[in-house]
Chain A
Amino acid sequence: MEKDQDKIISDVTTSEYKYGFYSDIEMDRIPKGLNEDVVRLISVKKNEPEWLLDFRLKSYRHWLTMKMPTWPNLKIAPINYQDIIFYAAPKERKNLNSIDDIDPELKKTFDKLGIPLQEQKHLAGVAVDAVIDSVSIKTTFKETLAEMGIIFCSFSDAVKEYPDLVKRYMGSVVPYTDNFFATLNSAVFSDGSFCYIPKGIRCPMELSTYFRINSANTGQFERTLLIADEESYVSYLEGCTAPSRDENQLHAAIVEIVAEKNAEVKYSTVQNWYPGDKEGKGGVYNFVTKRGMCKGESSKISWTQIETGSAITWKYPSCILRGDNSVGEFYSVAVTNNYQQADTGTKMTHIGKNTRSTIVSKGISAGHGQNSYRGLVKVLKNATNARNYSQCDSLLLGDKCGAHTFPYLEVDNSTAIVEHEATTSKIGEDQIFYCNQRGISTEDAIGLIVNGYAREVINKLPMEFAVEAQKLLQISLEGSVG
């Protein structure tokens, strides 16, 4: 049996990354490398106001004093920042008034990815902001949403049209000094999505941002800022893909969320960056800072992530529970197959009274994949009656992969109740045989078992995407074990 299992594991896999194509789009690229002039050049390219350039320069100068942290459980080849192009945008981006103004090649790209740039009837429930390399090229349903006072646009447009909101909130949750990659992003970020839900409004459709890296040697540094004013609700989804390339590409993004009193934000991610090939060559470095601030009382921020792509994933979508009675949630499925590595988890910082947080993390390791959960639950002195429940499960397929759990608890209030549960399991040969005996192939059996294992998290996704996520899980593990 062992021999047989080795054989099947060694067959790992031929499952093609289906978004690995490259589109030949006419691009405006700046030269490789990073220095103060490059930062200024990005700002000029984007026609930015003085205050934003100042923010960038401040960040850049701070970044020069920083070193890349070495604490994660990851093996990262050195990154040469002088070898990265920090700005690449499709040409001919004048004022786009209709879909017809978009480069047909670009449109084709997004069609191929299944992302509608047209406001199609059957996808009327989803508004999309499409970002390619450094810029947002189209935001759908902008007008429909505007009628309700909802602002959904590219970050660049927000800087021009709503400078006060941007100034007020940008960096308020993730300050420019936060960490090495957040600081880098603050210096060179090129675009991203901006969203504001006014007081008392329930956003009637899913808002989503689709990120595509297309150009070679280009880093993607986008920034998303999401503000939910009092009594509002929004569900937000991001997806991402990149061409298959032998070099590693850097993606260092920031997502900031602010939830005011009684507001609720659901943020879902289906991360499918190019994971590298079977030997671990190439793939995206996904080093992202995501943090939400439950600012007002009884506010709620919920993170759901399905992480199947990237050569290396390094991120901790977190919640700062400042408002009394506020709620933070983190639901995660992270898959590492072949030579993928992930060090991911969350931070829940309880500041307000009666704050509650839930963490459900499901790691799946196959091939030579290494999967670490790292989480911090911090209860500050005044957070009376804080509650946390954490559950970290690891599922192993085969015997060459690894699962690691690093939970940290810092509790400074004696009324707090903090629970942590962890399990590690392996898909058993007995389970596979039982399925085989009922006529279910080994591949399908693994799909069933993995989706069953991840169901609790997948169920948190908006319905439209849950099915996609299920398929994605199965594809990313195809042929990984027997």
Chain B
Amino acid sequence: MLIINNLKASIEGKSILKGISLDIKPGEIHAIMGPNGSGKSTLAAVLAGREDIEITEGTVTYLGKNLLEMTAEDRAKEGIFLGFQYPIEIPGVSMVNFMKTAVNEHRKHKGLDPLSASDFLKMMREKKELVEIDSKLANRSVNEGFSGGEKKKNEIFQMAMLEPKLAILDETDSGLDIDALRIVANGVNKLKRPDNSFIVITHYQRLLDFIVPDVVHVLYDGRIVKTAGKELALELEEKGYDWIKKEIENNVTT
């Protein structure tokens, strides 16, 4: 699905990602954990196609194509979805209108006709139930005046609508209470299929109680310093990131 090889990136001349390699296969859930400032969100943004990040080295291959050559909207239409850590407000643009445009752009890309209004609304209804989102939200402007939890649920709702092949969830759990967290996790679990993959970026182990990852990576200072099974998350929770830091320092000294 996605192969990242020695990816290095910087923002305004400052090096953020310092050589990342990952191999994500269809059907896998990868968790990326790490302390603040380790480069987690930058990695998500690079994969989604943000242009203010400069790629200095490395390759990213997505479904056999060079991802770094694709525009952000083409990546989206090819099935990459980014759940934003801070979803953006777009005043005046209703969720219905926004999603209809997005869904139909995806369909056009696949050579399908646009959905009829009634089919589209039916789809919205089904997906809304999936993430237990208040049906009134659909008539409001995109993220405008949404609470923190509503914004995150709205991201999962959009993911459900667009049915991505690779979903990257950037700290979708931050700022959620336990109920919202469960709803978000349920949404992800219901959308999981053998042919799609997830990258779940999180600071805390909490989310991984609900979304069980196949692989856990620890990102620290722009590098993946540890990769293991789901038990790594528990170990991190117990020992904290200092444990990783110490281990790295020891490695350097030895």
Contact = CB atoms under 8 A, between A and B. Distances in A.
Interface of A: 1, 4, 428-431, 433-442, 444, 448-449, 451-455
Given A439-B109, A440-B105, A434 B76 contact: no
B82 A437 contact: yes
Of listed A1, A4, A434, A438, residue having the most chain B CB within 10 A? A438
Contacts of A430: 88
Given A429-B52, A438-B98, A449-B92, 8 more contacts: A431-B89, A437-B81, A437-B84, A438-B105, A439-B73, A439-B106, A449-B93, A453-B92
Contacts, number: 79
Contacts of B82: 437
Contacts of B90: 431, 434-435, 448-449, 452
A448 B77 contact: no
A452 B48 contact: no
Nearest to B101: A440
A430 B89 CA distance: 9
Nearest to B73: A436
B71 interface: yes
Contacts of A453: 91-92
Interface in B53-84: 71-73, 75-77, 81-82, 84
A438 B50 contact: no
A455 B75 CA distance: 30
Contact of B92 (A440, A444, A455): A455
Interface in B162-190: 162
B227 interface: no
A481 to B, nearest CB: 14
Interface of B: 48-52, 71-73, 75-77, 81-82, 84, 87-94, 97-98, 101-102, 105-106, 109, 141-142, 158, 162
A4 B92 contact: no
A442 B74 CA distance: 12
Contacts of A435: 90, 98, 102
A444 B76 contact: no
A444 B105 contact: yes
9 contacts: A1-B51, A428-B88, A436-B72, A437-B84, A439-B77, A444-B101, A448-B93, A448-B97, A453-B91
Contact of B88 (A434, A452, A454): A434
B20 to A, nearest CB: 20
Contacts of A1: 51-52
B88 A440 contact: no
Contacts of B75: 437
A331 to B, nearest CB: 15
A439 B76 contact: yes
Contacts of A438: 76, 98, 102, 105, 158, 162
Contacts of B49: 436-437
B141 A452 contact: yes
A472 to B, nearest CB: 17
A86 to B, nearest CB: 44
B92 A452 contact: yes
A289 B48 CA distance: 51
A431 B102 CA distance: 14
Contacts of B71: 436
7 closest Cβ pairs, A-B complex:
A452-B92, A452-B93, A436-B72, A439-B76, A434-B88, A438-B102, A1-B52
A452 B48 CA distance: 25
A433 B141 contact: no
Contacts of B50: 433
A442 B73 CA distance: 9
B72 A437 contact: yes
A366 to B, nearest CB: 17
A452 B106 contact: no
A453 B162 CA distance: 25
Contact of A440 (B48, B51, B81, B102): B102
Contacts of B109: 439
Contacts of B141: 452
B214 to A, nearest CB: 25
Contacts of A434: 84, 87-88, 90, 142
Of listed A428, A439, A451, residue having the most chain B CB within 10 A? A439
Nearest to A362: B92
A449 B105 CA distance: 16
A452 B52 CA distance: 27
Contacts of A429: 52
Nearest to A444: B101
A258 B240 CA distance: 77
Nearest to A395: B92
Nearest to A456: B92
A454 B92 CA distance: 8
A431 B88 contact: yes
A201 B158 CA distance: 50
Nearest to B143: A434
Contacts of A440: 73, 98, 101-102, 105
A437 B98 contact: no
Given A1-B51, A1-B52, A438-B158, A433 B92 contact: no
Contacts of B88: 428, 430-431, 433-434
B101 A448 contact: yes
Nearest to B72: A436
Contacts of B51: 1, 4
A448 B98 contact: yes
A437 B92 contact: no
A451 B94 CA distance: 11
Contact of B72 (A428, A433, A454): A433
Contacts of B48: 437
A4 B91 CA distance: 24
A270 to B, nearest CB: 20
A452 B29 CA distance: 37
Given A4-B51, A431-B88, A439 B93 contact: no
B105 A452 contact: no
